[in-house]
Amino acid sequence: MGEVVLIEKEESKINKDVVELICSVKNYDWGRIGENSQVARLYSLNSGLEKIDGNIPYAEFWMGTHDSGPSFVRSNIESDDEKVGLSSETSNNNKTLKSWISENPHVLGDKVVQKWGTDLPFLFKVLSVSKALSIQAHPDKELAKVLNESNPSDYRDGNHKPEMALAITPFEALCGFITLQELKDVLLNVPEIIELVGSVAAEPLLSAKEEDGEKKTKPLLRSIFTILMSASKDLVSEMVSKMKDRLTAESKVKQLTEKEQLVLRLEKQYPADVGVISAFFFNYVKLNPGEALYLDANEPHAYIFGECVECMATSDNVVRAGLTPKYRDVKTLCSMLTYKQGLPEILHGVPLNQYTKRYTPPFDEFEVDFCLLPEGESVMFPEVEGPSIFLFTTGDGTLHTFSLTSAAEDVIRDGLVLFVPSGTKIVISASSATGLQLYRAGVNKRHFKPRILSYILQLTGDPDSKKMMFLRAFEKHNMENENKEFDKKHGLTWHVLSVTISVPKYMELLFEDFWR
């Protein structure tokens, strides 16, 4: 059995700066219907809404400060309206998390405030996907600002939106462009694409070679993809119908490929849509529960099916071009994409302890922890320099919080969402026979680490020399001294945190964290 944590209670209330959140729900038409949706279950438990409507889709559960789906800080006194769920700022007793943070900026930590101001830099979600989301990409900061200023009704903020999806169930997505060879195979085996774009546009890509490099192949891919996405509705409708008939006939005499089967599924959901045929251009990715993929700005993708936890920079900017009844901005999407080719990186999580894994994308705004805690066991989340949001999805237990000024205890239940301030230690104990499952979103640890690489870059421009100097510097440093200054002869102060693991492993972790 787990170790019992003994602390002094404070009137059985959560630490005064650890606040419970009432979160927002989105009923987009691609969401799962009624009780089949994890989003519906969590929203019902979180809001106190006793009955789930079995006739509407529950697509997204939002935890954060974005104005399009704000979370509210639950007050000590609840009105009857709050007990059946909160959907607007009309409550007299609750204020938005955004406004509460602006009144209490210390909860973010100094380094977070210095970079992002008095707002939460990440947005945390749960998605329940029944049918495909749009073919889309998210703009970088520069483009987001331009889009927001020119078209604020469709692009509601000026921030970028890198994101990560962590599968709860088996999860399907289209993500990034396939390789050059795979693309050639598509052009040779999907005649409807040639009819749409024309042989003149297709021929240069068919003739391209791997040794030509990205400089030559990217413009070719961009050209043919733009022509495809810009084709007339009538021609697209004709070619999608023709492709459907061909694949249906072929399925009676042979096994269709996974991508061909997917395209037929998409056609049922979005008949005569250019997104159906453009799916051939993208990687078809299947995540197992516990696997994650991350997406940088200007990368095309579409979630297809399944349920996931999603975290992103605080933004709701989406540039769409297919598989959607919503506003399409084909010109912007085709011009903004990076046209990188190849499979995305799949994250499996790095164990923090026997119960917890951390998923760390290459973005400063966020990281996600997943914890599966057996009955009777306890786990500690040490204090960090930034804020966190904890989502408890399954099971009951006890939560102990510790800060510089107080300690407290409270009961954990399904659907509980907590905002935890910077500098707060959390100890969680599971009491359910089936254990306890939770997710934590927080600011990426890399934001709080010294940028060692920037020091190296000032000393040499040679890649090999950079690596050698990196290694030699750490070999000479006493790794057991915390925040020790050295190498001042170059006019810089270099801080290195104490380390207790071996030098080779430390080197490996440093490269992983800083060599980006």
Q: Which residues are catalytic?
A: 320
SS3 407: strand
With CA atoms as reference, report the closest residue to 339 among 153, 191, 179, 155: 179
Both tokens assigned to 136: 């889309």
With CA atoms as reference, report the closest residue to 377 among 324, 310, 428: 428
Both tokens assigned to 173: 């997505």
C-beta of residue 441 within 8 angstroms of C-beta of residue 389: yes
Residue 65 identity: T
Q: How far apart are CA 342 and CA 87, in angstroms?
A: 41
Alpha carbon distances (Å) from 191 to 78, 222, 225, 239 = 62, 19, 15, 9
Cα three-residue angle 235-336-120, rounded to 5 degrees: 125
With CA atoms as reference, report the closest residue to 510 among 459, 456, 461, 463: 456
C-beta of residue 309 within 8 angstroms of C-beta of residue 292: no
C-beta of residue 429 within 8 angstroms of C-beta of residue 375: no
The DSSP bridge partners found for residue 418 are: 20, 390
Q: How far apart are CA 370 and CA 381, in angstroms?
A: 11
Residue located via tokens 């309206």:
81
What residues contact residue 199 under an 8 Å CB cut-off, 6+ apart?
A: none
With CA atoms as reference, report the closest residue to 314 among 441, 460, 149, 181: 441
Q: How far apart are CA 400 and CA 404, in angstroms?
A: 14
Q: What is the DSSP letter of 99?
A: H
Q: How far apart are CA 307 and CA 38, in angstroms?
A: 7
Give the helix ranges, DSSP H, for 353-502. 452-459, 463-476
Q: How far apart are CA 121 and CA 315, in angstroms?
A: 9
Backbone phi, then psi, for 428, in 5-degree steps? -120, 135
Residue located via tokens 């938005």:
96
Residue 18 identity: V
Residue located via tokens 């399944």:
306
Residues 440, 442, 447, 448, CA torsion sign: negative
Q: How far apart are CA 389 and CA 85, in angstroms?
A: 19
